[in-house]
């Protein structure tokens, strides 16, 4: 499983877009990029995942570079409830081990 690198922390103003970067330069061809977030003392919550193409759902958008070495999670209109630790993880669709990096603490400020 590829290692991912994320900034330790980020701040964002409420109502603005939050752009969270992730580097995964050693990602293999069969590994998806998954994003999860964890609010204090809860289990991680699934946000979005993608392989090559950009993806969008009701929570966020995922932009993956053409070489797949990095990606950006976009929360289009951040709210105070989006304050959490965001994890970017590379994992294959076959259900092999999923290991977490340190993640990014996103703080949304009023």
Partner 1 sequence: GAVVSQHPSRVICKSGTSVKIECRSLDFQATTMFWYRQFPKKSLMLMATSNEGSKATYEQGVEKDKFLINHASLTLSTLTVTSAHPEDSSFYICSAHGTLHYGYTFGSGTRLTVV
Q: Which residues bind partner 1 (CB under 8 A)?
A: 32, 34, 36, 38, 41-46, 49, 87, 91, 93, 95-103
CB of 105 to partner 1, least distance (A): 9
Q: CB nearer to partner 1: give 14 or 51.
A: 51
Whether residue 20 contacts residue 105, with contact meaning beta carbons closer than 8 Å, is answered with no
CB of 62 to partner 1, least distance (A): 13
Cα 98 to Cα 50: distance, rounded to the nearest angstrom: 15
Q: CB nearer to partner 1: give 54 or 96.
A: 96
Whether residue 62 contacts residue 54, with contact meaning beta carbons closer than 8 Å, is answered with yes
CB of 25 to partner 1, least distance (A): 20
Q: CB nearer to partner 1: give 15 or 26.
A: 26
CB atoms closer than 10 angstroms to residue 89: 22
CB of 73 to partner 1, least distance (A): 15
Alpha helices in 24-89 (DSSP H): none
Cα 61 to Cα 48: distance, rounded to the nearest angstrom: 8
Cα 99 to Cα 90: distance, rounded to the nearest angstrom: 8
């Amino acid at each position: 499983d590829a290692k991912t690198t994320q900034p330790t922390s980020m701040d964002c103003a409420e109502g603005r877009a939050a752009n969270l970067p992730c580097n995964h330069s050693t990602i293999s061809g069969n590994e998806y990029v998954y994003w999860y977030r964890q609010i204090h003392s809860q289990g991680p919550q699934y946000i979005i995942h993608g392989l090559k193409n950009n993806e969008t759902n009701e929570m966020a958008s995922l932009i993956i570079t053409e070489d797949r070495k990095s990606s950006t999670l976009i929360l289009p209109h951040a709210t105070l409830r989006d304050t959490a630790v965001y994890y970017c993880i590379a994992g294959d669709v076959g259900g092999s081990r999923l290991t977490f990096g340190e993640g990014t603490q996103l703080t949304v400020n009023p």
